[in-house]
Amino acid sequence: MAYVIEGSTGAWEVVIGLEVHAQIISASKLFSGAATAFGAEPNTQVSFVDAAFPGMLPVINRVCVAQAVRTGLGLRAHINLVSRFDRKNYFYPDLPPGYQISQFAHPIVGAGVIEIELADGSTRSIGVTRLHMEQDAGKSLHDQHPGKSCIDLNRAGVALMEIVSEPDLRSPEEAGAYVRKLRSILRYLGTCDGNMEEGSLRADVNVSVRKHGEPYRTRCEVKNVNSIRFVMLAVEAEAMRQVAVWEAGGTVQQETRLFDSGRGVTRPMRSKEDAHDYRYFPDPDLFPLVLDEDWVEQLRRALPELPDEKRARFMRDYGLSAYDAGVLVAEQATALYFEAVARGRDAKQAANWVTGDLFATLNRSGRTIEDSPVSAASLGRMLDLVADGTINGRIAKDVFDAMAETGLAPDAIVQQRGLRQVTDTGAIDAAVAAVLAANPDKVAEFRGGKDKLFGFFVGQVMREMRGKGNPGLVNEALKQALT
Ligand code: ADP
Ligand code: MG
């Protein structure tokens, strides 16, 4: 079902293109040897190059180039063996040279694609226009001094990838799914940690609206949106605003806006600048970047299995639904955990435990799967205990909770708490007899034709046996006793 905004003049379609800035994982900066660690004391990770001292020369960081190429390969994109760095000129206090080194006319990566997955189980291919490398700027700090602003240059010169999408996205959900998927791919590749709170990943959200079948209308760009939820909210708020402008007989002006998450609206920041405003020109301090084809091939061969391939394999090898497979592959650590549990066992059961009880436990305790209180080995062992009849499926829930609480292995819990399944028919018959004796009226009703009461008896017998009865045997015994 297409996402539309209903206005007074009819339905409006929303058109979205995203420019995502992703900080490259690298120990040092794009053109200097200064460190990149997050959270260091201000101005402790700044080289003369980053501070733009006269006469300092940039030297390209090979690791950053490899990371950009690997990302391009992961996005099934064209790798440009020759690319070039340009100066993008503008003044800002946190930009000591007065220009940012970026790639404009000749980016390192050309067209690619990102497959997004939607809640209804469908998928869509979203075009990636390009990926280019550029430097980050420093940071102005306005809360350090009553009358002055301070500058922290730690971030100045840190390597970024800007990943630009085609205007192919059509709803807040699709925009969110795009960022989620891109983030997942970057994390699998180890090229960006995807940490949106720390600013390692941020999105500029371009939005326009149009009537169905029309050419694109003017867009606005909402800058620096730093969570997936905010990307979705910013799309919605900006699209609504534009519909209102058009419907009031006005014209949407191309401009840069900011999302005010407190009020849920976008507000103007500056009128949109065009490329010519930046006076781009090739940086004379840097040679064109020429890549060796064999080196690119080496990088390609060394790529890990990425989310799409893993998802397809999980569906094929484990018979999982597209949805379950998608959830399990979103994070590499989750996929690893799942496979350790599923190998040699009932994969659907493994998937249910991981996406159900395990995720719920992790959410409640605010933990990640890497420090899960229940290891994959323990959960697997617990499934074995169910499969070999040591415990029944109902008691398994209690065993799981106990594992989560104590970190103990399942065998120890079953042993200590006496949770073994009861298959002794003598004990089961005794429990059945006790329940029938305590409920003569219900027995009469059942015998009078009220079949639905059977479930009630099963529940009572199980309760009598403190959940440990073998469900099959309990059913059998009850059937015999009641007829
Ligand atoms: P610029 O270089 O001025 O930022 P681009 O053409 O590179 O402009 O586009 C930037 C982003 O805006 C891309 O992600 C693109 O998909 C998106 N975009 C372009 N036109 C539209 C439009 N009419 N509506 C929504 N997004 C658009
Ligand atoms: Mg742009």
* Per-block mean pLDDT, blocks of 10 residues, the chain (483 long): 91 98 98 94 97 96 98 98 97 95 97 94 95 96 92 97 98 98 98 94 98 96 96 98 97 95 91 80 97 98 97 96 93 97 95 96 94 96 93 91 94 90 87 91 90 90 88 88 85
Output the CA 280–ligand 2 centroid distance in Å: 13
- Pairwise CA distance, residues 196 & 10, whole Å: 37
Output the CA 239–ligand 1 centroid distance in Å: 15
Output the CA 260–ligand 2 centroid distance in Å: 21
Hey, how many other C-beta atoms are within 10 angstroms of the C-beta on 176? Answer: 21
Tokens 């979705």 sit at which residue? 232
The secondary structure element, H or E, covering residue 275 is none
DSSP state letter for 5:
E
The predicted pLDDT at position 420 comes to 86
Ligand 1 atom showing the smallest separation from residue 164 Cα:
14
Indicate the pTM of the whole model.
Answer: 0.90
Output the CA 357–ligand 1 centroid distance in Å: 43
Hey, how many other C-beta atoms are within 10 angstroms of the C-beta on 216? Answer: 11
Surface-to-core class of residue 119, CB atoms within 10 Å of its CB (0-12 exposed, 13-18 middle, 19+ buried) = exposed
Output the CA 19–ligand 2 centroid distance in Å: 7
Which long-range contacts does 257-264 make (Cβ < 8 Å, 24+ apart)? 257/220, 257/221, 257/222, 257/223, 258/222, 258/223, 258/224, 259/205, 259/222, 259/225, 259/230, 259/233, 259/234, 261/230, 261/233, 264/233, 264/237
The predicted pLDDT at position 389 comes to 87
What sign for the dihedral angle of Cα 384, 387, 389, 392? positive
Ligand 1 atom showing the smallest separation from residue 218 Cα:
23
Q: Which ligand is nearest to the CA of 276?
A: 1
Task: Give Cβ neighbours of residue 405 (< 8 Å, ≥ 6 apart).
Answer: 373
- Pairwise CA distance, residues 329 & 327, whole Å: 6
> Strands 10-23 and 201-210: what pairing?
antiparallel
- Pairwise CA distance, residues 353 & 369, whole Å: 13
Q: Which ligand is nearest to the CA of 221?
A: 1
- Pairwise CA distance, residues 135 & 99, whole Å: 10
Ligand 1 atom showing the smallest separation from residue 272 Cα:
3
Q: Spell out a b/e string for 137-172, using b for 16 or more CB atoms within 10 Å of the CB, else e.
A: bbeeeeeeeeeeeebbbbbbbbbbbbbbbebbbbbb
How many helices (H) and strands (E) the chain has is answered by 16, 16
Secondary structure class of 113 (helix, strand, coil): strand
Q: Which ligand is nearest to the CA of 127?
A: 1
> Strands 255-260 and 220-225: what pairing?
parallel
- Pairwise CA distance, residues 101 & 287, whole Å: 13
Nearest CA to ligand 1 atom 11: 17
- Pairwise CA distance, residues 158 & 138, whole Å: 9
Tokens 């079949």 sit at which residue? 451
Nearest CA to ligand 1 atom 3: 274
Q: Which ligand is nearest to the CA of 205?
A: 1
For a mutational test of ligand 1's pocket, the pick from 13, 16, 19, i.e. the residue with the most ligand atoms closer than 8 A to its C-beta, is 19
- Pairwise CA distance, residues 243 & 263, whole Å: 19
For a mutational test of ligand 1's pocket, the pick from 88, 130, 134, 164, i.e. the residue with the most ligand atoms closer than 8 A to its C-beta, is 164
Nearest CA to ligand 1 atom 19: 167
User: Interhelix angle for 453-464 vs 425-438, to 10°?
Assistant: 120
Output the CA 483–ligand 1 centroid distance in Å: 74
Ligand 1 atom showing the smallest separation from residue 274 Cα:
3
Output the CA 210–ligand 1 centroid distance in Å: 15
Nearest one of 210, 211, 231 to 221, comparing CA atoms: 231
Which residues form ligand 1's pocket by a CB distance below 6 Å?
15-19, 164-167, 206-208, 216, 219
Secondary structure class of 189 (helix, strand, coil): helix
Tokens 């390692």 sit at which residue? 200
**Residue type at 249?**
G
Nearest one of 459, 449, 464, 457 to 480, comparing CA atoms: 457
- Pairwise CA distance, residues 427 & 434, whole Å: 11
Output the CA 230–ligand 2 centroid distance in Å: 19
For 301-327, write each residue's pLDDT tens digit.
999 999 999 999 999 999 999 989 999
- Pairwise CA distance, residues 152 & 187, whole Å: 27
Phi/psi at 13 (5° precision): -95, 145
On whether the CB atoms of residues 204 and 255 are closer than 8 A, the answer is no
Ligand 1 atom showing the smallest separation from residue 19 Cα:
14
- Pairwise CA distance, residues 366 & 382, whole Å: 23
Ligand 1 atom showing the smallest separation from residue 166 Cα:
16
For 361-420, write each residue's pLDDT tens digit.
999 999 999 999 999 999 999 999 999 989 988 899 999 999 999 999 999 999 998 888
On whether the CB atoms of residues 82 and 290 are closer than 8 A, the answer is yes
Polymer length of the chain: 483
- Pairwise CA distance, residues 94 & 304, whole Å: 37
Where do the domains of the chain lie? 4-297, 305-417, 425-482
Output the CA 182–ligand 1 centroid distance in Å: 18
Nearest CA to ligand 1 atom 13: 17
Output the CA 273–ligand 2 centroid distance in Å: 10
DSSP state letter for 391:
S
CATH among 1.10.3720.10, 1.10.10.410, 2.40.30.10, 3.90.1150.10 for 425-482: 1.10.10.410
Output the CA 222–ligand 2 centroid distance in Å: 11
- Pairwise CA distance, residues 164 & 170, whole Å: 16
Bridge partners (DSSP) listed for residue 134: 160
Nearest CA to ligand 1 atom 17: 17
